[in-house]
Amino acid sequence: MIAAMRKLIKKIKKIIPTLFYIVVILVFSSIFLGAISFIYFARDLPRPDNFVDRTISRPTRIYDRSGENLLYTVHGEERRELISIEDVPDHLIEALLSAEDSNYYDHYGIDLEGIGRSVLINLRERSLSAGGSTISQQLVRSALLTHEKTFMRKIREVILTIELERKYSKEEILEFYFNQIPFGHNIYGIETAAQSFFNKSASELTVAESATLVAMIRSPSSLSPYGDNLDALMGRRNYVINRMAHLGYLNEKEREEAIDEEPEFSRFRNYLRAPHFVLHIKQQLENHYGAEFLNERGLKIYTTIDFELQRKAENVARIMAEQNSAQFNAHNMSIVMTDPNTGEILALVGSADYFGEKYPEDCVPGRSCLFDPYTNVALRGRQPGSAFKPFIYAKAFENGYSGETTVIDERTNFGTLANPYIPRNYDNRFRGEVSLRDSLAQSLNVPAVKVLDEMVGLRQGIEWAERFGITTFTEDPYHYGLSLVLGGGEVNLLELTSAYSVFAADGMKSPTASILKIEDGSGNIIQQKNSTQRRVVSSSVAQEITDILSDNEARAPIFGSNSILHFENEKVAVKTGTTQNFRDGWIVGYTPDIAIGVWAGNNNNERMLNSPGVSVAGPAWRVLMEDYVRN
């Protein structure tokens, strides 16, 4: 027996080295195969090397001049506002952990216990209310991987999750998660979700509101508060609240209060204020920076818009256009307000009501519409009528003539016998010898044509208008002919109002400005308004034009002594304009501090009911100017 045992021991001693080598080979083979497998599954894998430097799309925000009124948010496919983890309330973090990953601080990215528990909960409640993925896994899946459901993708998810947990702290991962997670409607991140659904910052959310947003994470599309599944969303919310209480984050009273709280969802829309102005700015920025840069870099655009003036102008345009449509067959209106001393646009209304309905409903925008809300008439070329006259008179004064210079107002053919051009005055009367002061104040047509023809010249007149900022005269001067002084060339309301600002600023012109400054996502100023002024016309000529346009006595023979153009004890210069066949009505007026221009008419160029500019555009201008000078 002993001999047999000795033989067995000898055999074992011989086998042990062989077994040892086999074990070593198996261990190293496993390590090698594991490494090869890791390399295989991780090849071409996006790396979570630094989430902090990862480019997360952030919207550009456009503000009024105060920076307190948000006019518009420009975003691409992702709307995202970033928030620091320090600003996330504790109950929001607790709601997330309760619903998605209660063992978050106890695992290293993969929670086997959580997976098992979620399976049991789902079986017991016959629902999919509990999931098995950790917060880290969800972040990796959302930020770094596709949504394909394959075995290989799952392995890659696990590998990246382990890498993420190794690289970052739990607090950092939570911050990444809160800024990355989608909520549907192109909304990404908890801050954007809080602002969109509750009109408040995430830092201000109640327990119930926090639970509601966390509830949406599981299925943003089917649990949207704006769909037909509000009851399902509230059920999921209550599940989150109950889980918070079960885990000790809420006491019974807090749980009951959260369950009983009725949600107050804000109206879902991307706010668009000062719409025509904002969309004009957006197009300018896209042309300069590119749409992708604008959509993703979190710029802050501080515009020149005075929000209170803008709101007043929009209200006036809407109300007056409604009145004009019934009284004068003039269905649209545009308003521009500028600061003469800075060139800044204080208000811009491109149409009477951007959010209104087209009239008639079957119109084709740009062709058959009397009113098209989306067309920015402030930037569209229209004939200005007599509103263009002051620039030609200013050039005559610059050439040495004065307001006391006289011309003969009489029937005159400025053409030929074969091709006559015989302008008429508004009232079909001729006055004989008149001063330039009276002829401009009363907007007489024949004297104005003589001023252009005899004292200025057609080519000089166009070059002079360009000095004031009129850029729309692109044809050869003789294309317009002498009718230029009567509004024969198209201008737009923004340029015309800005041009009048030169008279208000004592002959100095500031570049028309719509943006005060632009900040990048870090608060650095990357663009600022140019404040350089240049002299366009002498101070004496500017003052003479202003004196004529504010001379109530001189214009009284045509407009009356108590017209809407007259301000008692206030020096307000103003000029009206009406195009041939009453297709456009204009008025532009100013003080040293503000210039206001108003256009009224129809988008499709249909004529109004024999209504001059003072009647269709004048009342709106009067309301705005009076409100400004009185306040």
CA distance 223 to 331: 43
Strand-strand pairing, 60-63 and 300-303: parallel
Max CA separation in the chain (angstroms):
152
- Token pair of 332, please? 């649209």
Model pLDDT for residues 556-568, shown as the tens digit of each residue: 999 999 999 999 9
- Token pair of 51, please? 């989430």
Q: What is the 3-state secondary structure (H, E, C) of 276-309?
A: HHHHHHHHHHHHHHCHHHHHHECCEEEECCCHHH
The per-residue pLDDT for 6 is 62
Average pLDDT (13-28) is: 55
Is 151 exposed, middle or buried, given 0-12, 13-18 or 19+ CB atoms closer than 10 A? exposed
Model pLDDT for residues 259-268, shown as the tens digit of each residue: 999 888 876 5
Nearest alpha carbon to residue 202 among 62, 96, 75: 96
The total number of residues shown for the chain amounts to 631
**pLDDT above 90: percentage of residues in the chain:** 55
Average pLDDT (496-523) is: 95
CA distance 619 to 626: 10
Strand-pairing partners, residue 188, are: 80, 182
CA distance 598 to 595: 10
Residue 514 burial (CB count, 10 A): 19
Strand-pairing partners, residue 573, are: 590
The per-residue pLDDT for 468 is 97
DSSP calls for 338-368: E-TTT-BEEEEESSS-TTSPPBSTT--TTTT
The per-residue pLDDT for 130 is 47
Model pLDDT for residues 567-608, shown as the tens digit of each residue: 998 999 999 999 988 999 999 999 999 999 999 999 888 999
The amino acid at 199: N
Model pLDDT for residues 398-420, shown as the tens digit of each residue: 999 999 999 999 999 998 888 99
> For residue 329, how many C-alpha atoms fall within 13 Å in the half-sphere facing its CB?
10
CA distance 198 to 177: 20
Is the pLDDT at 444 greater than 70? The verdict is: yes
Alpha-carbon dihedral 434, 436, 440, 441, rounded to 10 degrees: -70
Is the pLDDT at 5 greater than 70? The verdict is: no
Strand-pairing partners, residue 338, are: 345, 595
Q: What would you report as the CA-atom Rg of the chain, rounded to the nearest whole angstrom?
A: 37
The per-residue pLDDT for 14 is 58
**pLDDT above 70: percentage of residues in the chain:** 81
Confidence of residue 129 (pLDDT cuts 50, 70, 90): very low
Confidence of residue 246 (pLDDT cuts 50, 70, 90): very high
Is the pLDDT at 553 greater than 80? The verdict is: yes
CA distance 503 to 629: 18
Nearest alpha carbon to residue 606 among 246, 316, 269, 363: 363
CA distance 47 to 398: 70
CA distance 422 to 446: 8
- Strand, helix or coil at 215? helix
Q: Would you say 611 and 619 are in contact if contact means Cβ atoms under 8 Å apart?
A: no
Nearest alpha carbon to residue 436 among 499, 487, 467, 392: 392
Residue 313 burial (CB count, 10 A): 26
The per-residue pLDDT for 426 is 87
CA separation, residue 5 to residues 1, 2, 9, 339, 423 (Å): 6, 5, 6, 111, 136
What distance lies between CA 356 and its chain's CA centroid?
18
Of residues 29 and 466, more confidence is placed in 466
Model pLDDT for residues 80-111, shown as the tens digit of each residue: 778 889 999 999 999 999 998 888 888 877 77
Is the pLDDT at 335 greater than 80? The verdict is: yes
Of residues 255 and 53, more confidence is placed in 255
The per-residue pLDDT for 128 is 44
CA distance 147 to 345: 47
CA separation, residue 159 to residues 41, 170, 225 (Å): 8, 17, 35
The per-residue pLDDT for 433 is 96
DSSP calls for 364-380: -TTTT-SB-TT--GGGS
Domain ranges of the chain: 81-260, 385-487
Nearest alpha carbon to residue 438 among 402, 394, 403: 403
The per-residue pLDDT for 263 is 85
* CA angle, 61 then 515 then 298, to 5°: 25
Strand-strand pairing, 60-63 and 584-590: unpaired
Of residues 311 and 165, more confidence is placed in 311
| Secondary-structure percent of the chain, ordered helix, strand, coil, rounded to 5 | 50, 15, 40
The per-residue pLDDT for 584 is 94
Write down the CATH superfamily of domain 81-260: Biosynthetic peptidoglycan transglycosylase-like (1.10.3810.10)
Lowest mean pLDDT segment, chosen from 32-41, 140-149, 225-234, 339-348? 32-41
CA distance 220 to 119: 22
* Candidate ranges 131-135, 230-234, 390-394; pick with highest mean pLDDT: 390-394
Where is 407: in which H helix or E strand? strand 406-409
CA distance 49 to 474: 56
Model pLDDT for residues 288-304, shown as the tens digit of each residue: 888 777 766 788 999 99
N- to C-terminal Cα distance for the chain? Answer: 121
What is the average pLDDT score of the chain?
85
Q: Which CATH class is domain 385-487?
A: alpha beta
DSSP secondary structure letter of residue 483: G
Sheet holding 573-578, edge to edge: 345-349, 332-338, 595-601, 584-590, 573-578
- Token pair of 578, please? 């009406």
- Token pair of 77, please? 């496919």
CA distance 196 to 177: 18
What distance lies between CA 477 and its chain's CA centroid?
38
Q: Would you say 461 and 395 are in contact if contact means Cβ atoms under 8 Å apart?
A: yes
The amino acid at 107: H
0.85 exceeded by pTM: no
The per-residue pLDDT for 113 is 66
Confidence of residue 483 (pLDDT cuts 50, 70, 90): very high
The per-residue pLDDT for 45 is 47
